[in-house]
C-alpha cells in the first residue's frame, strides 16, 4: 500500500526528456502541497545535457552518476517500458530507493495498492480495490476502475478508460484514449494502439489496433527490446 510521508525526501529524477518534465512538475506540485517530496534535479544518459536547467532544476549528470549525487530516492522518468524496466532493475541492484509520486489532482480511492516507483499523473483516477505494480505510469486523465490489476512497468497512456476488473500484464502499453471493457485481460509486453477498444482477452506480446481492437502482429518479448 502506498503511503504519503510528510518528512522531506530529496528525489532525483532519472530522465530529463518530455516525460521527465512531467515528473518534475508532479514533484514540484507535491512539494508545494506539503507532501514532503522535493526534487533536487535530473540525471540523463545524454551527457551533453549535464549542467542545463529544466523547470528550474539542474541536470546533474548521467544515470550512472546517481551514486555520486546526494539524494534519498529516485523516480524513473522514461516513457519506453522496456528501457524503464531495465533501468529500474539496474538501479535496484545498485541499492537505490524508489519513491512513488502522484499529482495533487489525481484521485486515489481507499484500498488502492501502488507499487514502488510508480508515477500517477494529473487527473488520473484509481478506484477501490485496484492494484498497481512497480515502476508503472498512470498518465494524465486516465481512469483505472475498481479491482483492476496493473502489472510492473506498464504505461497507461493519457485518457485511457479502463472498466472494472481489467488485468494488464507486465510491460504493456495501453495507448492514448483507448478503452478496455470490464473484465478483459491484456497479456504482458502488449501494445494497445491509440483509440482502440479492447473487448476481449489479448495474448502476450500482441499489437492491437482499431474498434474493436484486432491483432496485427507480435512484439518481441519485452526483455529483448
Q: Which of 47, 70, 99 is the last residue of a domain?
A: 99
Strands 119-120 and 101-102: parallel
How many whole angstroms separate alpha carbon 41 and alpha carbon 55? 9
Please give the pLDDT value at position 3. Answer: 44
How many whole angstroms separate alpha carbon 202 and alpha carbon 121? 26
Specify the DSSP class assigned to residue 129.
T
Please give the pLDDT value at position 222. Answer: 64
Please give the pLDDT value at position 223. Answer: 53
Cβ pair 79, 71 in contact under 8 A: no
Same structural domain, 155 and 94: no
In total, how many domains does the chain have? 2
C-alpha cell at position 202: 489479448
Q: Is 178 helix (H, G, I), strand (E, B) or coil?
A: coil
Same structural domain, 65 and 113: no
Catalytic residues, by residue number, are: 146
Please give the pLDDT value at position 7. Answer: 59
C-alpha cell at position 200: 476481449
Query: Is 217 buried (19+), middle (13-18) or exposed (0-12) by CB count in 10 A?
Result: exposed
pLDDT tens for the chain, 225 residues: list them: 344 444 579 999 999 999 999 999 999 999 999 888 999 999 999 999 999 999 999 999 999 999 999 999 999 999 999 999 999 999 999 999 999 999 999 999 999 999 999 999 999 999 999 999 999 999 999 999 999 999 999 999 999 999 999 999 999 999 999 999 999 999 999 999 999 999 999 999 999 999 999 999 999 876 554
Same structural domain, 193 and 218: yes
In terms of Cα–Cα distance, which of 165, 161, 167 is closest to 180?
Answer: 161
> Is residue 1 in a domain?
no
Distances (CA, A) of 54 to 42, 174, 189, 192, 219: 8, 28, 32, 31, 34
How many whole angstroms separate alpha carbon 145 and alpha carbon 126? 6
Cβ pair 39, 21 in contact under 8 A: no
Please tell me the chain's helix, strand, coil percentages from 3-state DSSP, rounded to the nearest 5: 20, 30, 50
Q: Which of 99, 132, 148 is the last residue of a domain?
A: 99
Cis bond upstream, residue 212 (ω within 30): yes
Same structural domain, 56 and 119: no
How many whole angstroms separate alpha carbon 145 and alpha carbon 168? 12
Same structural domain, 133 and 213: yes
Same structural domain, 116 and 202: yes
Please give the pLDDT value at position 2. Answer: 43
In terms of Cα–Cα distance, which of 48, 54, 50, 66 is closest to 17?
Answer: 54
Q: Give the structural domain span for 25.
A: 9-99
Amino acid at each position: 500500500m502506498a503511503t504519503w510521508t510528510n518528512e522531506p525526501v530529496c528525489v532525483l529524477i532519472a530522465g530529463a526528456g518530455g516525460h521527465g518534465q512531467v515528473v518534475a512538475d508532479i514533484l514540484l506540485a507535491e512539494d508545494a502541497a506539503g507532501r514532503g517530496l522535493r526534487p533536487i534535479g535530473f540525471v540523463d544518459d545524454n551527457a551533453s545535457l549535464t549542467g542545463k536547467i529544466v523547470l528550474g532544476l539542474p541536470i546533474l549528470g548521467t544515470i550512472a552518476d546517481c551514486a555520486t549525487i546526494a539524494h534519498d530516492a529516485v523516480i524513473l522518468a522514461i516513457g519506453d517500458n522496456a528501457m524503464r524496466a531495465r533501468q529500474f532493475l539496474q538501479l535496484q541492484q545498485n541499492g537505490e530507493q524508489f519513491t512513488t509520486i502522484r499529482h495533487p489532482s489525481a484521485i486515489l480511492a481507499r484500498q488502492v495498492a501502488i507499487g514502488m516507483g510508480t508515477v500517477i499523473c494529473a487527473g488520473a483516477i484509481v478506484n477501490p480495490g485496484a492494484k498497481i505494480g512497480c515502476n508503472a505510469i498512470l498518465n494524465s486523465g486516465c481512469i483505472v476502475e475498481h479491482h483492476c490489476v496493473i502489472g510492473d512497468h506498464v504505461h497507461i497512456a493519457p485518457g485511457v478508460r479502463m472498466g472494472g476488473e481489467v488485468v494488464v500484464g507486465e510491460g504493456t502499453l495501453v495507448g492514448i484514449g483507448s478503452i478496455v471493457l470490464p473484465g478483459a485481460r491484456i497479456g504482458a509486453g502488449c501494445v494497445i494502439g491509440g483509440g482502440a477498444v479492447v473487448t476481449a482477452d489479448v495474448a502476450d506480446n500482441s499489437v492491437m489496433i482499431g474498434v474493436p481492437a484486432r491483432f496485427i502482429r507480435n512484439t518481441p518479448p519485452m526483455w529483448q527490446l
